[in-house]
Amino acid sequence: MIVVATSDFEVYHGVVNELRDRGTTFTTVEPDEDLPEQATVVVTGAGHTDTFADVTTIVADPDDPRRTVDRALAAVRGDGGRTIIGVDPGKRPGIAVLTGETIVATFQVPLGDAVDVIQREAADAPSPVVRIGDGSRLESAKLVNELDAVTVELVDETGTTPYLGTGARGMGDVLAAVNIARLKGEVVDAREIDPTEGEIQVIKDRSREASEHNRAIDEVLARRVAAGELTIDEALAEHRDDGDESAETDRSKES
C-alpha cells in the first residue's frame, strides 16, 4: 500500500489528488506516526527522507505530483514496474508511457516536440526503454537518431492500430503507441533511411503548402529534411536565401 506522510500541504494536496484521480488505494499519516503494517511505499516531503528506513521512500516533487505518483506506483509493482514508452511515429506521434502493464500517461504532440516529451518521461526512471514503431520511416528514423540517451527498440508495428468505434476518432495513434509499447523490438542506435522519390515529393508538397509564395524546396533541401537535418520551415528559409542570392548575382551581371 502507498502511504502519504508529509506535513507539506502542497505536496499532500498534489499527491493525494493524483492518487484519487487514478483510483489508487492509499492512506495518509503524519510524518511522526507509525506506518500501517501493509505499507510498502511512503511518499513524503524533502525533510523526512531518513524517517522511514524499512520501506521504499519516494521524495515528492511538489511541482510534479504526477511523476511522484508514477514513481510510487512503479515501486509498488517492483520488478514489473519498468517504464516503457511506446511511440507511433508520424507528423504528430502518439506517445504512451507504461509502468509495467499500467498506462500512466499519453500524449500526441508535433514531431518536433516528441523527443523532449520522451526524454522528460524517461528521466529518473530505472532502466527505461523507448519502443518506436517502424512505420512512417522518415519520422521514426528522426526519433531513433535523436534519442541517444535512452535505450531504443524498433518495433514491427504491423497490426498495432486498432479499429476505432463511434466516439473514438483521433485516438488511433495513442492506442497504437500503447500496443507498440507492449511489443519487444530490436535494440537500435541509429536508423539510416534512403528516402524514396515518393517521400521526397511528399516533403516538397508540404513545403509548398507551408510557403508564403507557393514555392517548393528543391530536392537537395528535401533530402536534408528527410534526414532530419532541417525542418521544413528551416529548409524554406534556406531556399528563400538561396533565391535572394541568385537574384542579386543576376542583377550584378546585368549591370
Distances 111 to 9, 73, 89, 225, 232 between C-alpha atoms, Å:
38, 29, 8, 13, 12
- Per-10-residue mean pLDDT, the chain, length 255: 91 94 90 87 82 82 89 75 91 92 91 94 87 93 92 96 87 96 94 85 90 88 83 87 51 47
Predicted confidence at residue 249, as pLDDT, reads 42
- Say if pTM beats, i.e. exceeds, 0.75: no
Nearest to 18 by CA among 4, 30, 6, 32: 4
- Residue owning grid cell 479499429: 163
Predicted confidence at residue 34, as pLDDT, reads 87
Predicted confidence at residue 250, as pLDDT, reads 43
Predicted confidence at residue 189, as pLDDT, reads 92
Predicted confidence at residue 251, as pLDDT, reads 43
Predicted confidence at residue 71, as pLDDT, reads 84
Burial class (CB in 10 A: 0-12, 13-18, 19+), 221: buried
Q: 3-state class of 35 per DSSP?
A: coil
Q: Whole-angstrom Cα distance, residue 86 to residue 182? A: 8
